[in-house]
A and B are shown apart, each in its own frame.
Chain A
Amino acid sequence: MRREDGPIAVIEACQLVKMFRDRKRGAVRAVDGISFRCCPGEIYGLLGANGAGKTTTLRLLATLLRPSGGTASVAGCDVVREPEKVRARIGFLAAGTALYGRLTARETVEYFGRLHGVDEPLLKERLGNIFSTLGMHEFGDRRCDKLSSGMKQKVSIARTLVHDPPVMIFDEPTAGLDVMTARTIVQFIRDCRQRGKTVIVSTHVMSEAEKLCDRIGIINGGRLMVDGTLAELRRQHGITDLEDIFVRIVGGQP
């Protein structure tokens, strides 16, 4: 996946289209010809309002949905032809903690590790490392429904890391979280980049995108309106504040 103007892209979307049938609105193009690329060790932010098509784009990359048109590849694997290989190479974290309340933290992480085909000795080793890094040993054997929201978030993180994926996908990861838990998540995303993982994150929080993302794509009505580094966006629009840039692009205001 080498483009003339850059290094090998770990995530590359090319004219991605996703259409849904809606009883009231008929055929809806939730994602309408989106193309972007995300290079190794980079955090790519998809910025958009609610219903702009961020979640659908991420679900297409995670192979949860099948594109109606266009192509995409993640870590060298095609999302349509090799969906299982793609899933083996991604860690997906959505807004909610989405845990099995009746399993313990340890059982949850073990379950996802096994589903990813991590063999038992390696799973044990990874579990030990992740639990130490995230400080999870003290509540490792407690059921998830008995954990605090911060602890639950840690379990979710551990679940996404257990198979050591090269690509991380975050769908509005801080939505609905308190400040402290949100900071933990933001720090975790930065750590992912430090470990050389490629990250794509969707958000509608401008400050978060400003702090985190190496490249930002602004999405509206299923279309990618602009794409570039924060500095490039500022230069293009002659404004420093990302929110102002966003409003100008999305709302069409000066």
Chain B
Amino acid sequence: MKLHAIRIVFGKELRDSLRDRRTILSMIVVPVLAIPLLIFGFGMFAFKTMTHAAREIPAVMIVGGDNSPEVFAALRAAKNLQLVPAARDFTNAIVEKRVRAVAELPADFDQLIARGEKAEVKIYEYQGEMKSGFAAENLNSFFQNLRDAKVKENLRGRGVPLEVLRPFNIQRQNIAPPAKVAGNLLGGMLPYLMITLCMLGAVYAATDVTAGEKERGTMETILCCPVGRTELAVGKFLMVLTAATGTVVLSFLSMGVSLQIARRLLTGSAPGQALQNLATIDGWGLAGVCLMMLPVAAMLSSALLMVGLFSKSFREAQSYCGPLMLVVLMPALAAILPGVELNATMAMVPLLNVSLACKEMMMGIWHWNLILLIFGSASVYAAAALAATVWMFHREEVLFRS
């Protein structure tokens, strides 16, 4: 393999790509501007919507409960509930969002609980609908408090000490430092995000230097040069790898800067605290993730080059890249699922292995044996993918497929 020839091909491909508006868009503009805007913008929007929904006093309806003035008075006095008059079609009222939740009480509710008889309270909600959930939660806690108060009153009346209800206390204590908490949250997402960004950065570059060349007729011209096809393939591969890693690096730099800015702007507020935790992620973990991602980026670059090389035109290549993206993201998504944990078998599954290792590294767990096994296997997969790309560059039925 002639390094000089690889350098010439790489240099030309890089220069050519950096002059392409579409590469600039996918490699620089989207990761630097669009992704932080999207992530932080969407994050802020989601946070604000949730806070607003949690603060909103929900409209609730009480059906039944005839001759129960006490409970109605207490409900009216509750600050986190807004009572609306009862209606027969109360389920429709929830569906149509006129009320967020409904509590159904038996008749003579006040007397029933006064006599110590069993009374059933039914709470209706629209599961999956956030505001309905909040309203049902408010109703639930209202009735729980009422029940507790009644129990206490009964116990007091019979001269039983209140401690009988709580023979012991339970306390949960978090021992994970904030960095690990943030790592746990981010660990699963980070490889997924990195793989997506890798694909985003590499897909256009890979298609352009293969199917694009075929379409423009330059492939034939370049193959007439005395440069070996291996050198040609490696030069193009390095350019695609640069685009993929460049996109990831630029995205993370941009997200890091955005994070710092957002932290300063939001100091003291709840989202500011969340960002504070995020900013304390383990630097070594992040470095480990970046290193682990290198063979993945190499494998994806080769895979995309193969797709582009096989295609007759740019459009055909693009149509294959969509499904490929789904196939690639599935294992990365699987790593986010709770219960999917790293073991020797998982260490051999491409993409999933790296995603799981990254998740653990971000949590500060370093299983060195598995990490080395995964890095080794990921490198073998990357080398195999590159070898397949080089092999395809030697196949005339692929290069001149018509």
Contact = CB atoms under 8 A, between A and B. Distances in A.
Given A65-B396, A84-B228, A102-B20, A114 B223 contact: no
Interface in A63-118: 63-66, 84-85, 87-88, 90, 92, 94, 96-103, 107, 111-112, 114-117
A84 B226 contact: yes
Contacts of B217: 94, 96-98
A88 B226 contact: yes
A197 interface: no
Contacts of B158: none
Contact of B221 (A107, A117, A159): A159
Given A66-B396, A111-B12, A100 B218 contact: yes
A112 B227 CA distance: 10
A62 interface: yes
A92 B226 contact: no
Contacts of B16: 100, 102-103
Given A87-B226, A112-B225, A116-B225, A94 B220 contact: yes
Contacts of B19: 102-103, 143
A99 B8 contact: no
A101 B213 CA distance: 11
A158 to B, nearest CB: 13
Given A102-B19, A103-B15, A107-B15, A115 B226 contact: yes
Contact of A85 (B5, B20, B216, B226): B226
Interface string B96-111: 0000000000000000
A87 B224 contact: yes
A115 B218 CA distance: 14
A63 B399 CA distance: 13
A92 B220 CA distance: 9
A87 B396 contact: no
Nearest to A91: B224
A63 B223 CA distance: 9
Most buried by A among B220, B225, B400: B225
Contacts of B15: 103, 107
What secondary structure prevails in chain B residues at the interface with A?
helix
Contacts of B12: 100, 103, 107, 111
A4 to B, nearest CB: 33
B20 A64 contact: no
Contacts of A92: 220-221, 224
A102 B226 CA distance: 23
Contacts of B216: 96, 98-101
Nearest to A97: B217
A238 to B, nearest CB: 40
Interface string A218-240: 00000000000000000000000
Contacts of A20: 397
Contacts of B228: 84
Nearest to A108: B12
Interface string A114-147: 1111000000000000000000000000010000
B8 A111 contact: yes
8 contacts: A87-B224, A90-B224, A98-B217, A99-B216, A102-B19, A102-B20, A103-B12, A115-B225
Interface of A: 20-21, 59, 62-66, 84-85, 87-88, 90, 92, 94, 96-103, 107, 111-112, 114-117, 143, 159
Interface of B: 5, 8-9, 12, 15-16, 19-20, 216-218, 220-228, 396-397, 399-400
Given A90-B224, A99-B216, A114-B8, 20 more contacts: A59-B220, A64-B400, A84-B226, A84-B228, A87-B224, A87-B225, A92-B224, A94-B220, A96-B217, A99-B218, A102-B19, A103-B12, A103-B16, A107-B15, A112-B221, A115-B225, A115-B226, A115-B227, A116-B225, A159-B221
